[in-house]
């Protein structure tokens, strides 16, 4: 059974940092894009960052590039999102997601930041940035 468990959210002041963790099980990391999405109240879910552990490649939304860093510990099947210089507009529920390489990227898959390509989702963790 595929499971994704996100944790690490909380309340932080503007300019602060948080580290989100995603514990994954039930699938082979090598065959998936592992990504973070977020959804603010009244807004659509948006892609924040993604990685392919096989090639150690990463992608970031323009709004977080330079502030957020995605990483993974493949032995532990953990994916992390280090978030620095947080802003009030980063407030959202953050989800980790796994999308097969058949459905994300490449010639026929969805873009990494499209929810359409993702087969599995964690339960989300709330991040609140106060001004």
pLDDT of residue 92: 98
pLDDT of residue 49: 98
pLDDT tens digits for range 23-56: 999 998 888 999 999 999 999 999 999 999 888 8
Query: Residues of the chain whose pLDDT is less than 70?
Result: none
pLDDT of residue 55: 84
pLDDT of residue 30: 83
pLDDT of residue 124: 95
Mind giving me the DSSP string for the chain? --EEEEE--EEEETT--EEEEEEEESS-GGGEEEEEEEE-TTS--EEEEEEETTTTEEEE-TTTTTTEEEEEETTTTEEEEEE-S--GGG-EEEEEEEEETTTBSTTTSBPTT-GGG--EE---EEEEEE-
């Amino acid at each position: 059974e595929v499971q994704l468990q996100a944790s690490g959210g909380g309340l932080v002041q503007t300019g602060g940092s948080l580290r989100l963790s995603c514990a994954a099980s039930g699938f082979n990391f090598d065959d998936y894009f592992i990504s973070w999405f977020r959804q603010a109240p009244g807004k659509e879910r948006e892609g924040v960052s993604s990685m392919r552990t096989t090639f150690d490649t990463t992608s970031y939304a323009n709004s977080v590039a330079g502030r957020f860093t995605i990483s993974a510990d493949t032995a532990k099947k953990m994916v992390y999102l280090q978030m620095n210089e947080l802003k009030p507009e980063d407030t959202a529920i953050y989800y980790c997601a796994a999308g097969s390489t058949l459905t994300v990227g490449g010639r026929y898959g969805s873009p990494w930041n499209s929810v359409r390509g993702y087969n599995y989702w964690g339960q989300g963790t709330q991040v609140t940035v106060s001004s």
